[in-house]
Amino acid sequence: MNNSDQYTLKLRRVAIDTYKENVAYLHRNCAIYRTEGFQALSKVEITTVNGDLAQQQRVLAVLNVVDDERITQCDELGLSEQAFAQLNVEEGHCIRIAHAEPPPSISAVHRKIAGERLDLEDFRGIARDIAAHRYSKTEMAAFLVASSQTGLEREEVLYMTRAMVECGDRLDWGEPLVADKHCIGGIPGNRTSMLIVPIIAAHGMLIPKTSSRAITSPAGTADTMALLARVQLPPEQLREIIRCQRGCLAWGGAARLAPVDDILISVERPLSLDSQGQMVASILSKKLAAGSTHLLVDIPMGPTAKVRHMGEALKLRKLFEFVGDRLGLHIEVVISNGRQPVGRGIGPVLELRDVMQVLNNDPQAPADLRQKALWLAGRVLEFDPDVRGGQGYAIARDILDSGRAMNKMHDIIEAQGRNPETVAVGRLRHKIEAQTDGFVTAIDNLQIARIARLAGAPMDKGAGVDLMKKLGDTVKRGEVLYFIHADFPSDFRFAQEAAAKDIGFQIGKKPPDGSTEPEF
């Protein structure tokens, strides 16, 4: 009938994990490769050959050309793990391959590059095409850079958020109040979630918070929690735990909510792009997909935080409020003190120590971590219509002091599956001392985080930085400002070298003036 037979290949699974990018493998001597003029890295569309056209599956991939029959033979088309799973047919199935057309919505990306404003349908098209894996990484980078450069207007952020929510599953908890709390990040040691979740859940309020792993920071909540319990749980089991315990401290990556956001982040993170618009769309689409009805957003502000000035913080707050209000999400935004790390430890084991001291009401516990967690937990508790305005903090403190928060933490650990191993603080230790007498007038979040990462955090759980002094403390020449911990000599050396160049502390003659700063 037509020449379609000559285009048919047998599907093969190639056991290579290419993460969020689909790759197809075609042998260089494959007749189709030669006649069709495919080029390595060209985008191809792979379609199953079925009797029934309606049941055709398709998947898009980037092409790699193979010269080894052990990987892919001449009559085969290989697919990387993720692409194979998406196509969802057996090995050996007949498939066809063709040049892929650019995604239909790419014209909207070009209009954005030219500085135009996009409408809801444009964003719907972009989100749909990204969810269908029709965008290459470079096409996504083009979209993200174009939206971060001229910026997105607030209506565009709303459209983007709505489009992203529409493209994924959305959980429904069947309850009128589903709380969540989110910090925009950037402050080392800021492990308040591990305190807030037990407090809120102990109060009985539903808080299905999922957490992230560290990407560019020395530890994420999921990295720290992994020291206590399993954090990678099947979505069904996770939902069951949340229903029983009213909260959880698990990794959110497996839930497959807001798939567009996951895909965009895989490009955004390595590029260190952080436009306010993309950040708000990313956070709110995830929370809406997770079924949240009430959200507390924490924006730490400080000279080395993500947000550095009050004007910027207010602009971001208003953007959260604008989009949240229009999408039916009750949002409270707090601007917190981001001038220095929270707590003492930086790195999974060291941060866990701080958290457990607070939960245990240990007198050694870092006061700032305790205070910040209680303040935020109090604000979340006030989402409860039965809690009188201004009473949240006292309720949170009572839950913590009475040991109910610690009991809830143990219940959550048992439900997720306790980790029997214990990991010690890194055995190699180096002290950084003050070179002069005075007061600590500044601590550089970025440099301290960098030193902790070079020491091995978060992969080396025991590695990191342990702060002995905080802002405003008096120091004498020779006193220890912080310790660097590591397990591997090379990491240890890198971290010491970085600290030798810039210790990340400033010592001044007068104490810093914090009178205009937020209290927490």
Binding test (CB under 8 A) with a copy of itself, winner from 5, 29, 31, 39: 39
With H, G, I as helix, E, B as strand and everything else as coil, classify residue 264: helix
Phi, psi for residue 151 in degrees, rounded to 5: 80, 160
Q: Does 253 bind a copy of itself (CB under 8 A)?
A: no
424 in the Ramachandran plot: left (φ > 0), alpha (ψ -120 to 50) or beta?
Answer: beta
The residue with tokens 């020395």 is 218
Provide DSSP, 280-345. Answer: HHHHHHHHHHTT-SEEEEEEEESTTSSB-SHHHHHHHHHHHHHHHHHTT-EEEEEEEE-SS-SSSE
Nearer to a copy of itself by Cβ, of 123 and 492: the residue is 492
Smallest separation, CB 17 to a copy of itself (Å): 4
Q: Does 71 bind a copy of itself (CB under 8 A)?
A: yes
Per the annotation, the verdict on 384 as an active-site residue is no
Q: What gap in Å lies between CA 361 and CA 39, rounded to an integer?
A: 63
Q: Does 80 bind a copy of itself (CB under 8 A)?
A: yes
Nearer to a copy of itself by Cβ, of 10 and 404: the residue is 10
Binding test (CB under 8 A) with a copy of itself, winner from 118, 140, 349, 350: 140
Question: Using N-to-C axis directions, what is the helix angle for 259-271 and 137-149, rounded to 10°?
Answer: 80
Q: Does 41 bind a copy of itself (CB under 8 A)?
A: yes
Phi, psi for residue 350 in degrees, rounded to 5: -65, -35
Q: Does 19 bind a copy of itself (CB under 8 A)?
A: yes
For 190, the enclosing helix (H) or strand (E) is none
Q: Does 139 bind a copy of itself (CB under 8 A)?
A: yes
Burial of 81: CB neighbours in 10 Å, binned 0-12, 13-18, 19+: middle
Binding mask 148-187 for a copy of itself (x = CB under 8 A): xxx-------------------------------------
Smallest separation, CB 98 to a copy of itself (Å): 9
Q: What gap in Å lies between CA 218 and CA 275, rounded to an integer?
A: 22
Max intra-chain CA distance, the chain: 89
Can you say how many angstroms the Cα of residue 65 is from the centroid of all Cα atoms in its chain? 34
With H, G, I as helix, E, B as strand and everything else as coil, classify residue 256: coil
Q: Does 211 bind a copy of itself (CB under 8 A)?
A: no
Binding test (CB under 8 A) with a copy of itself, winner from 43, 209, 294, 344: 43
Smallest separation, CB 246 to a copy of itself (Å): 32
| Residue span binding a copy of itself (CB under 8 A) among the ranges 102-110, 200-208, 371-379, 443-451 | 102-110
Binding test (CB under 8 A) with a copy of itself, winner from 458, 462, 464, 504: 458
Binding mask 475-494 for a copy of itself (x = CB under 8 A): -------------xxx--x-
The residue with tokens 């009797």 is 51
| Residue span binding a copy of itself (CB under 8 A) among the ranges 66-74, 123-131, 224-232, 408-416 | 66-74
Q: What gap in Å lies between CA 452 and CA 460, rounded to an integer?
A: 10
Q: Does 53 bind a copy of itself (CB under 8 A)?
A: no
Nearer to a copy of itself by Cβ, of 81 and 473: the residue is 81
Nearer to a copy of itself by Cβ, of 322 and 488: the residue is 488
- Check the CA dihedral 257-259-260-263 and report its sign: positive
Q: What gap in Å lies between CA 133 and CA 138, rounded to an integer?
A: 13
Catalytic residue among 169, 262, 274, 502: 274
Contact 83, 43 (CB under 8 A): no
**With CB under 8 A, what is the number of residues at the site for a copy of itself?**
63
Q: Which of residues 113-132 bind a copy of itself (CB under 8 A)?
A: 113-115
Binding test (CB under 8 A) with a copy of itself, winner from 31, 85, 244, 271: 271
State the CB neighbour count (10 A cutoff) for residue 150. 15
Distance (Å) of CA 5 to CA 10, 26, 49: 12, 17, 10
Q: Does 311 bind a copy of itself (CB under 8 A)?
A: no
Nearer to a copy of itself by Cβ, of 26 and 195: the residue is 26
Q: Does 86 bind a copy of itself (CB under 8 A)?
A: no
With H, G, I as helix, E, B as strand and everything else as coil, classify residue 114: coil
Q: What gap in Å lies between CA 238 and CA 231, rounded to an integer?
A: 9
| Residue span binding a copy of itself (CB under 8 A) among the ranges 18-26, 158-166, 179-187, 203-211 | 18-26
Smallest separation, CB 337 to a copy of itself (Å): 26
Q: Does 20 bind a copy of itself (CB under 8 A)?
A: yes
The amino acid sitting at 59 is V
What amino acid positions are annotated as catalytic residues?
274
Binding site for a copy of itself (CB under 8 A): 2-4, 14-21, 23, 25, 28, 35-37, 39-43, 64-68, 70-71, 80-81, 102, 106, 110, 113-115, 136-142, 144-146, 148-150, 266-267, 270-273, 458-460, 488-490, 493
